[in-house]
């Protein structure tokens, strides 16, 4: 039986091309691994639903390969997708029992791209319910439909969110690569704390059609993988212009035909990188890892300078106003188009109240209620908040800092070390990443492993100008190859060095 642990896209393709393995066998190996690691053993609880047609799809792709038809680098490659993305034949629920019967009649645009590229849609991953936008005291990785996802490295630690299941699943090699979504941190944080590479593209570079929304200004899907090369291969398929997504109109002129062409181990040489020290100081291990990363980059030929962002974090208050307005508008539109029941945000609030014992046992729906109280996107309060958020994060923040210091990218920690999961109190507040600038500005960011804190992975985030994905991939790849910081998960039950640190049965 093929060992799929740590198997990358290019190695899987080489094995299939050489006749060592078929897509059917590859898919079956992942299904077996999900059974052994996700359902049993460490019981990560990262996969919320399996695609009943996955093996049949793999057989069809094997037949095409035998006939000499290859669709591209993802031909026969099993992929997991976050459960807020429409896939025909599967539920799309955003993790909520309220949408447990929502079966899309049409694939999301990016799903159609994956099918056309020959990917095997293995299943859907759990997420923080409603992408962490329901209640103020939510716990990342928990949903009423899927339960609590666990961190692949230390099981009593949190996987972050909201792309929690994709992060834990890909860390554990439950698929070759995975798709997450982000509004602000929902790709970068779960990728970082699960030892992965994650890329948040420029808003609109990947179509949002068929994805349950939070924010038209900030939402995007993006690739998550164990290596930069895998992320680049998946991004090349996800990127395409979609006339149905207003933010996607410029993708045609900015998309690279092949992002793997930018995997250059020498990409750091001569590059100027701005270290945002305002994003440091919340954790000693993170700070130490950042200093080691600076040394690695310098040795590789980069010039790293300290930079200061004026009005740092001034974007936070207006961003929340924007999210509340856009969530109400976007979710109502999605539910109406999907002919879902409940069919509106107001209906969902009532449904949650009627089923509070099952959907709200740990935290409430304050964000739902705050969003419902907002008006329309024509409100002056919305327009003013959107302008202020984009200006403080973009024009006066990210862009001004890049220009004033003549640096190619900005560098910050991706996240804090993974915290203890606490369903009663929810996620802790404080610490975190300066990469929110890129999320609010709508520009790309990438996280790559940079070290660990007592066995918990740490990530380094790079942020660039709009449509600078190719540059970010090159720099992240060069750092990855110079640092070799990522280690596979060992599935410790609790933090190594504490009273007990056994591996869960079935971990391998």
Tell me the two tokens of residue 405.
């210091």
Scanning 84-227, the segments in alpha helix (DSSP H) are 109-116, 164-171, 188-193
Per-residue pLDDT of the chain (508 residues; tens, 9 = 90+): 799 999 999 999 999 999 999 999 999 999 999 999 999 999 999 999 999 999 999 999 999 999 999 999 999 999 999 999 999 999 999 999 999 999 999 999 999 999 999 999 999 999 999 999 999 999 999 999 999 999 999 999 999 999 999 999 999 999 999 999 999 999 999 999 999 999 999 999 999 999 999 999 999 999 999 999 999 999 999 999 999 999 998 887 899 989 999 999 999 999 999 999 999 999 999 999 999 999 999 999 999 999 999 999 999 999 999 999 999 999 999 999 999 999 999 999 999 999 999 999 999 999 999 999 999 999 999 999 999 999 999 999 999 999 999 999 999 999 999 999 999 999 997 655 789 999 999 999 999 999 999 999 999 999 999 999 999 999 999 999 999 999 999 999 999 776 545 555 444 3
Instruction: Please report, for residues 200, 223, 301, 410, 465, the alpha-carbon distance to residue 403 in angstroms, rounded to integers and kept in the order given.
Output: 22, 28, 21, 11, 10
pTM of model > 0.95? yes
* Spatial separation of the C-alpha atoms in residues 389 and 442, rounded to whole Å: 11
SS3 63: helix
* Spatial separation of the C-alpha atoms in residues 466 and 442, rounded to whole Å: 7
Angle between the N-to-C axes of helices 316-338 and 345-354, in degrees from 0 to 180, rounded to the nearest 10: 90
Q: 23, 46, 82, 445: which is the annotated catalytic residue?
A: 82
Instruction: Please report, for residues 90, 96, 355, 384, 435, the alpha-carbon distance to residue 161 in angstroms, rounded to integers and kept in the order given.
Output: 22, 15, 24, 29, 15
Q: 186, 392, 414, 483: which is the annotated catalytic residue?
A: 186
Burial of 358 (C-beta count, 10 Å sphere; 0-12/13-18/19+): exposed
Instruction: Please report, for residues 142, 227, 295, the alpha-carbon distance to residue 452 in angstroms, rounded to integers and kept in the order given.
Output: 24, 16, 16
Which candidate, 230, 182, 224, places its Cα nearest to that of 203?
182
Helix (H) or strand (E) holding 470: helix 469-483
- The CATH class that applies to domain 125-316+384-483 reads alpha beta
Q: What is the pLDDT of residues 29-44, one digit of tens each?
A: 999 999 999 999 999 9
Q: 96, 143, 162, 433: which is the annotated catalytic residue?
A: 162
Are the beta carbons of 158 and 151 closer than 8 angstroms? Answer: yes
Percent of the chain residues past pLDDT 90, beyond the cut: 94
Which candidate, 6, 459, 2, 481, places its Cα nearest to that of 225?
6
Give yes or no: 162 in active site. yes
- What is the DSSP secondary structure assignment for residue 279, as one 8-state letter? G
Which residue is listed with tokens 């975190």? 432
Are the beta carbons of 224 and 166 closer than 8 angstroms? Answer: yes
């Amino acid at each position: 039986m093929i060992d799929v642990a740590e198997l990358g896209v290019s190695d899987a393709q080489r094995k299939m091309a050489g006749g060592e393995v078929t897509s059917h066998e590859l898919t079956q190996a992942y299904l077996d691994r999900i059974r052994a690691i996700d359902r049993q053993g460490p019981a990560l609880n990262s996969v919320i639903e399996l695609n009943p047609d996955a093996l049949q799809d793999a057989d069809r792709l094997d037949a095409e390969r035998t006939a000499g038809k290859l669709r591209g680098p993802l031909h026969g490659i099993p992929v997991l997708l976050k459960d807020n993305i429409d896939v025909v034949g599967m539920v799309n629920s955003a993790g909520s029992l309220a949408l447990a019967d929502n079966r899309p009649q049409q694939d999301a645009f990016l799903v159609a791209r994956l099918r056309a590229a020959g990917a095997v849609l293995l299943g859907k991953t759990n997420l923080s319910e409603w992408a962490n936008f329901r209640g103020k005291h939510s716990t990342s990785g928990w949903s009423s439909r899927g339960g609590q996802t666990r961190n692949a490295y230390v099981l009593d630690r949190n996987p972050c969110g909201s792309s929690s299941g994709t992060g834990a699943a890909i860390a554990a090699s439950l698929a070759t690569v995975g798709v997450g979504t982000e509004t602000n941190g929902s790709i970068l944080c779960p990728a970082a704390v699960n030892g992965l590479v994650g890329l948040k593209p420029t808003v609109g570079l990947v179509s949002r059609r068929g994805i349950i929304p939070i924010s038209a200004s900030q939402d995007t899907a993006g690739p998550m993988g164990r290596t930069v090369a895998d992320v680049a291969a998946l991004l090349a398929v996800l990127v395409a212009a979609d006339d149905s997504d207003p933010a996607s109109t410029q993708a045609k002129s900015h998309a690279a035909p092949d992002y793997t062409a930018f995997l250059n181990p020498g990409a750091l040489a001569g590059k100027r990188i701005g270290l945002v020290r305002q994003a440091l100081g919340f954790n000693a291990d993170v700070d130490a890892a950042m200093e080691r990363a600076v040394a690695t980059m310098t040795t590789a030929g980069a010039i790293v300078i300290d930079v200061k962002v004026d009005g740092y974090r001034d974007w936070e208050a207006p961003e929340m106003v924007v999210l509340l307005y856009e969530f109400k508008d976007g979710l109502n539109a999605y539910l109406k188009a999907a002919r879902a029941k409940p069919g509106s945000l107001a209906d969902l609030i009532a449904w949650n109240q009627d089923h509070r014992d099952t959907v709200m046992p740990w935290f409430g729906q304050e964000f739902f209620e705050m969003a419902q109280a907002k008006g329309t996107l024509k409100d002056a309060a919305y327009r003013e908040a959107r302008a202020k958020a984009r200006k403080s994060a973009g024009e006066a923040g990210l862009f001004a800092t890049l220009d004033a210091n003549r640096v190619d990218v900005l560098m910050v920690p991706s996240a804090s070390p993974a915290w203890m999961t606490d369903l009663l109190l929810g996620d802790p507040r404080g610490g975190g990443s300066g990469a929110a600038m890129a999320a609010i500005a709508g520009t790309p960011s990438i996280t790559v492993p940079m070290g660990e804190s007592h066995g918990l992975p740490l990530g380094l985030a790079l942020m660039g100008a709009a449509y600078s994905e190719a540059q970010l991939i090159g720099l992240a790849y060069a750092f990855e190859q110079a640092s070799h910081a990522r280690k596979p998960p060992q599935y410790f039950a609790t933090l190594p060095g504490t009273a007990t640190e056994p591996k869960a049965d079935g971990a391998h």
